[in-house]
Amino acid sequence: MLTTIVSFIVVLGILVFIHELGHFLMARRAGVGVETFSLGFGPKIFCRKRGETEYCISAIPLGGYVKMVGQDDMKVQAPEDIPEEERRRSFLHKSVGKRSLIILAGPAMNIVLAVVLMPLAYMIGVQVPAFLERPPVIGWVEPDTGAAKAGLTPGDRVIAIDGQETRTWETLREAVATNPGKTAALDIERSGQRLSLSLPIETVEKVGLGDAGLIPEVPPVVGSIMRGFPAEEAGIKPGDRIVSLSGTPVSHWYQIPRLIKAHGMAPLDVTLSRDGREIRLTITPKPRPEAEVPAWKKPFARFFAKPKPAADNGPMIGIGQKEETVLKKYGFVEAAGKGTERILYLTGLTFSTIGKLLSFDLSLKALGGPIMIAQVTGSAARSGAADLIQFMSAISLQLGILNLLPIPVLDGGWLLFLLIESLKGKPISRRAMEISQTVGFALLIMLIVVVSYHDVLRLLLP
């Protein structure tokens, strides 16, 4: 928990600092005075004044701001009433071009930071699930899912989904996840022939993302042993490969829990391979233990608890699959290329997600708020420096892009005001600006509340 909190505050602090530093440096370059540079909102915890600028750390760490001379000036329409010195250094009395550059500098700095950090992560080396970069050859089809209904079988290679080429499992998974409730056109290769199928994509209600029951090839190799369970007592070890269960050949990890469940609590004949030797064992499964509810979660249990399906308490022998990962490490030139490729991919994905949200093709459940970002930040920090840097790069990129949306209170809203001013030849009225800012702020708060609500549900629900 401490790692999550500290890493979240550090990462958010860096991203906010870089963003506000962009506004600050460009304002100074344009000859605009800066009154306050604050990390955080609300009550000021620490302040130090240097020159005309007060540098502060404020109580609410979910953002920051740079307050410029004249930025809130109510006398925009009457410049003759403003002293010459103040007017010369006022933000609102600079040209539209200079003001646009000051506004753009914040998001631009976030995007630049993302472009710099991503290659650095590849140079350090990133651990990724091995299957993500492999061709999307289906290893298992979940029964009663979209993949089963479409007629997909193990061994099929997905070539394209809705016309988008799928070279890797990562591109296929992203395409499925961002099209919940849709029926996708699937092109596959089966036994050397190209076929076209229709793939129904279901919606995972808890997260609002799509799932079709497509599983990559996962060999039935034991990765972990649970203490006190039959597998440990029988002498099964990590690295053992399950060959058969009660005479049924096993070729994929996903067969194991289903075969154990079908067999029940009766003694189970297990054949496994270890160091080229075949070993036969008899193991009696035991019921799955009830998950212990953390102390902090207990007060909420009666509000969020759901009846557990019978399968949750079904038989198990206490083994976990082997998670195969690969360390990807590159030299400077390759890392720059890989980083750029990843940034372009994430940029396209971000715009695609925004478009689907606006067209109601994607639920707000798919978005993550501060709680989810904190959780993922903590997980990335525990995984290592490269994962944390890569995650920070992705968040910085999204922060830069989202800040450019033409929504009042965001930088894109200011740019929209400036565009209207340049077209009209005069600033929009202060009253219109205040109303639009209030509406924009209300919408932003509503969005934060909604995504935070879904974050809490994900956290509390089993």
Ordered by where they begin, the domains of the chain are: 2-123+393-460 (no CATH), 132-216 (2.30.42.10), 222-303 (2.30.42.10)
Does 296 have pLDDT greater than 50? no
Q: Which amino acid is at 230?
A: P
DSSP run (H or E) holding 202? strand 202-204
Mean pLDDT of 132-139: 90
Cβ distance 254 to 140 under 8 Å?
A: yes
Beta bridge partners of residue 61, listed in sequence order: none
What band does 77 get if pLDDT is binned at 50, 70 and 90?
Answer: very low
Q: How far is CA 399 from CA 45, 164, 257, 343, in A?
A: 25, 26, 41, 13
Tokens of 258: 């289903």
Determine what percent of the chain is predicted with pLDDT higher than 70. Answer: 89
Q: Taking residues 86-106, what's their average pLDDT? A: 87
Q: What is the DSSP letter of 221?
A: B
> Is residue 291 predicted with pLDDT exceeding 70?
no
Q: What's phi and psi for 116, nearest 5 deg?
A: -75, -40
When pLDDT is cut at 50, 70 and 90, the band that residue 428 belongs to is confident
How confident is the model over 174-187, as a mean pLDDT? 91
CA distance 60 to 130: 40
Helices 385-402/2-29 angle, 10° precision = 50
176's CB contacts (< 8 A; 6+ apart) are 161, 184, 201, 210, 211, 212, 214
The helix or strand, by DSSP H or E, that contains position 56, with its residue range, turns out to be: strand 53-68
- Asked if residue 188 lies in contact with residue 152, where contact means CB atoms within 8 angstroms, the answer is yes
Active site residue 202: no
Q: Say if residue 311's pLDDT is above 50.
A: no
Q: Which of 20, 133, 205, 217 is catalytic?
A: 20
